[in-house]
Amino acid sequence: MSSKIRLGILGGGGDSLIGVLHRVASSMFDSFELVGGVFNPNIEENIGFAERIGIPTHRVYKDFDTLIEKETALPENQRMQVISILTPNFLHFPMAKKLLENGFNVICEKPMTTTYEEAKILKETLAKTKAVFAVTYTYTGYPMVRQMREMILGGELGEIQKVDAQYYQGWINPIIHDKEKRANTWRLNPEKSGISCCVGDIGTHAFDMIEFVTGQHVNSILADLNYLYEDNRMDIDGTILIRFSKNVKGVIRASQIATGEENNFTVQVYGKKAGLKWEQENPNYLYLLEDGQPLRVLKPGHAYNSKLSLDGTKLPPGHPEGIFDSMGNIYKGIAKAIRGEAYNSGEFPTIIDGARGMDFIEKAVESHRKGNVWVTLD
Ligand SMILES: NC(=O)c1ccc[n+]([C@@H]2O[C@H](COP(=O)([O-])OP(=O)(O)OC[C@H]3O[C@@H](n4cnc5c(N)ncnc54)[C@H](O)[C@@H]3O)[C@@H](O)[C@H]2O)c1
């Protein structure tokens, strides 16, 4: 029998954006075997997709409740061990909760839930189990993001004094100006997406990233969001001032109407001694800035990188690492946790990060609705 971890997937069908990333990432280190799931709510498409990707169809279920019923009836050494939730946001909470209650490990896409209250309930549910719970803030798996974290935690920048994260996309621009299109996009529908579109979808990546690389918690925020049209109930752009403490401050700039932008996610952290800059569209370069010194560029796979960074590099220097590798590294960490092996806390984001993300989203919307006021995070 295979020693691979038996993986199920919810959502992520042939019609999805993120499914292929999880399938490739999970297969990257030969640790997981995709054994079934519910890829699509339409049974024909669900089965057809499973056939196309070569998954035996007897474990491809018509819906989530059937998956729980049939999988829990299987002997433990056959049952799915971990299930990835890749559906639209509103399904994350009910699915994750039921999975935990039935003894499964969970990998959940961000945003983890649609409300902070749900996130807190999930934390309580997890506390009653021994399950592993990961939230796929994909970008934290990049070798040079891990390197950035290790350098900052190791004090190489000195005391942090400025943090800036920008996440600019333009994909909503061709949708938002057309009334019918904006009414038919699930990310702009609060019933499916939660209370926020831009902050919930990409602002949350930026928030997680700055807490990940600095190792510090944001204390309070002030948000100015943009909705553009009266009938649009979801933010599609936002500028959020952040404070870690009295003298450590910064900004998160997120937009889905930054016309023509693709996935322009950058993070910059400046300390008393030096600064570090990283860009998602050019992820193999980490820029080190120092007073009076030439700019230095750090790259993956070199011995000068930290153990955590090198653990996420598969080939010698000069072989670019991309988004699939980044998610692959997260799955690699999750596999270690499921197998009970030692791992570094930076190897994958957990329910704590997922819940902080939900607190951030809700407080950003609250700050904006109250007239752009400072709001404290838990
Ligand atoms: N980590 C990242 O960087 C990242 C990037 C993109 C999306 N996401 C997240 O991934 C999730 C999915 O996003 P997407 O862009 O792939 O969405 P999508 O709309 O492209 O795909 C959603 C998939 O879920 C399936 N689905 C819908 N209802 C279902 C049900 N009841 N049971 C089973 N499957 C069902 C759909 O058929 C489809 O295959 C979202 O929560 C999103 O925020 C994360």
Question: Is the distance from the beta carbon of residue 196 to the nearest atom of ligand 1 less than 6 Å?
Answer: no
The residue to mutate among 46, 61, 86, having the most atoms of ligand 1 within 8 angstroms of its beta carbon, is 86
Residue 281 and residue 150 share a domain: yes
CATH number of the domain to which 217 belongs? 3.30.360.10
Ligand 1 centroid, distance to 88 Cα (angstroms): 4
Q: What letter does residue 199 receive in the DSSP assignment? A: I
Domain membership of residue 239 (yes or no) is yes
Question: Is the distance from the beta carbon of residue 85 to the nearest atom of ligand 1 less than 6 Å?
Answer: no
Domain membership of residue 127 (yes or no) is yes
CATH number of the domain to which 30 belongs? 3.40.50.720
Residue 185 and residue 130 share a domain: no
Residue 298 and residue 159 share a domain: yes
Residue bearing the CA closest to ligand 1, atom 34: 11
Question: Is the distance from the beta carbon of residue 110 to the nearest atom of ligand 1 less than 6 Å?
Answer: yes
From the CA of 64, give the closest atom in ligand 1: 32
pLDDT per residue of the chain (378 residues) written in tens, 0 to 9: 678 999 999 999 999 999 999 999 999 999 999 999 999 999 999 999 999 999 999 999 999 999 999 999 999 999 999 999 999 999 999 999 999 999 999 999 999 999 999 999 999 999 999 999 999 999 999 999 999 999 999 999 999 999 999 999 999 999 999 999 999 999 999 999 999 999 999 999 999 999 999 999 999 999 999 999 999 999 999 999 999 999 999 999 999 999 999 999 999 999 999 999 999 999 999 999 999 999 999 999 999 999 999 999 999 999 999 999 999 999 999 999 999 999 999 999 999 999 999 999 999 999 999 999 999 999
Residue 66 and residue 163 share a domain: no
Dihedral pair phi/psi, residue 358, rounded to 5°? -70, -40
The residue to mutate among 10, 18, 66, having the most atoms of ligand 1 within 8 angstroms of its beta carbon, is 18
Domain membership of residue 374 (yes or no) is no
The domain total for the chain is 2
Final residue of a structural domain among 87, 115, 138: 138
Ligand 1 centroid, distance to 21 Cα (angstroms): 11
Amino acid at 83: I
Per DSSP, the three-state class of 5 is: strand
pTM recorded for the entire structure: 0.97
Residue bearing the CA closest to ligand 1, atom 30: 41
Residue 42 and residue 148 share a domain: no
Final residue of a structural domain among 138, 171, 206: 138
Q: Find how far residue 14's CA is from the centre of its chain.
A: 20
Domain membership of residue 263 (yes or no) is yes
Domain membership of residue 67 (yes or no) is yes
Question: Is the distance from the beta carbon of residue 11 to the nearest atom of ligand 1 less than 6 Å?
Answer: yes
Ligand 1 centroid, distance to 16 Cα (angstroms): 6
Residue 162 and residue 131 share a domain: no
Residue bearing the CA closest to ligand 1, atom 14: 17
Domain membership of residue 342 (yes or no) is no
Give the DSSP per-residue string, 54-115.
Answer: T--GGGB-SSHHHHHHHHHTS-TTTS-SEEEEES-GGGHHHHHHHHHHTT-EEEEPSS-SSS
Residue 238 and residue 163 share a domain: yes
Ligand 1 centroid, distance to 287 Cα (angstroms): 33
Domain membership of residue 332 (yes or no) is no
Residue 220 and residue 116 share a domain: no
Final residue of a structural domain among 123, 138, 153: 138
From the CA of 14, give the closest atom in ligand 1: 39
Question: Is the distance from the beta carbon of residue 22 to the nearest atom of ligand 1 less than 6 Å?
Answer: no
* Cis status, amide bond into 190, omega within 30 of 0: no
Classify strands 286-290 and 274-279 as parallel, antiparallel or unpaired: antiparallel
Ligand 1 centroid, distance to 87 Cα (angstroms): 4
Domain membership of residue 337 (yes or no) is no
The residue to mutate among 109, 264, 331, having the most atoms of ligand 1 within 8 angstroms of its beta carbon, is 109
Residue 130 and residue 57 share a domain: yes
Ligand 1 centroid, distance to 83 Cα (angstroms): 14
Question: Is the distance from the beta carbon of residue 208 to the nearest atom of ligand 1 less than 6 Å?
Answer: no
**By residue range, what is the domain housing residue 197?**
144-310+351-369
Confidence (pLDDT) at 1: 63
